[in-house]
Every structure is written in structure tokens, then in C-alpha cells.
Structure 1
Amino acid sequence: MPQLVTVRVARPTGRAVRLWVPVLPVVLLILAALGAVVACLVYRIEVMRAFGTGWRLLCAMPGTRVDVREGRTGVLVSIR
């Protein structure tokens, strides 16, 4: 399975724009989106409304900080 796809876009100015797209995260994102659509259909939830709500939650996350401590072990998750 390929790991990386390189996309080269030619521009009228002569300079090309090159983009590197990792394959695995894109495939996982597509599978997660399809799974979410199936779950919405099974539970009779409007698909567009569910994706809109998910997008709003994602946009509200920057600045979130979660700090969990249990004994001598600690986990800090900071979303920027």
C-alpha cells in the first residue's frame, strides 16, 4: 500500500505547487465518515446535522486542556 501521494499543480505563473498527502490518515478519515453515516442512518439521526454538530465541537476545542493524575502517573492533553 502506498504511504504518500504527491500532487503537483501547475500554475499559469510557471511555479508549481507540490502537496504531499499521507494515504493512511486519509483512508482512516474516509472510513470513519462512512461509519458515522451508517450509524446516523441506523439511529435515525440527520446526517448533515450530526456532521455540523461535530464540526462545531471540533472548532471549539482549541485551548482545551485535560490533566489527569492517578498516583505518580499523569497525562496532559493540550489541544491548540
Structure 2
Amino acid sequence: MMPQLLTARVKRPAGRPIRIWVPVLPVLLILSPVLVLATAVAVVACLVYRIRVWRALGAGWRIVSALPGSQFDIEHGRTAVLVTIR
């Protein structure tokens, strides 16, 4: 299943935390020309390095499909960022 929502929360040292909700599907639709170009570049790179194209694209799709439920926590000093993918 493709991720549906990306939630980011930034805790700042002074002030209230910032929360951002990003729906993934509209962003993918807007960036689809870039996605097509990136896929073409990936196919060319697979051919140059003699990697099977379908296996490489399948592995990429499996990575994207495994993202829902992931959480990334980054802390640096008094600032913290939490990213959740649903």
C-alpha cells in the first residue's frame, strides 16, 4: 500500500511546536513529470551498470510500499523533528 499522509512535527526551543500534514497523492500528481524523468534516469543507470531494470524498479516499489507506519526522530540540540508516514 502506498503511503497516504506524511506528518511532520518540529519542536522549537522557544515557542509552540509546528505541525505539518502533507497528503502524498496530490504531491505525487503535481510532481509526476519529475517522477517520469527520474524513472527514465533510473532505467538508463540500470542499463549502464548492467542491473535488471524490472528487479530494480520492483525493489524501489517495495521500499515505497514499506514506508507506511515508519517514524523518523531527529534531535539536534534543543530542536527536535518527528516525521510519521501513514
TM-score by length of 1: 0.66
Q: Where in structure 2 are the equivalents of 1:50-65 lying within 5 Å?
A: 50-65=56-71
Identity across the alignment (%):
54
Which structure 1 residue ranges, 4+ long, deviate > 6 Å from structure 2? none
Q: Where in structure 2 are the equivalents of 1:1-80 lying within 5 Å?
A: 24-80=30-86
Assess, with a 3 A threshold, how the Cα gap between structure 1 residues 23 and 56 changes in structure 2: closer, same or farther. closer
C-alpha RMSD of the superposition: 1.7
Report the structure number with the largest CA radius of gyration: 1
Residue deviations 1:9-42, cap 9 Å, x none? Answer: xxxxxxxxxxxxx875121011110111111111
**Secondary structure of the corresponding residue to residue 51 of structure 2:** coil
Greater relative contact order (Cα 8 A, min sep 6): structure 1 or 2?
Answer: 2
The alignment covers a number of residue pairs equal to 59
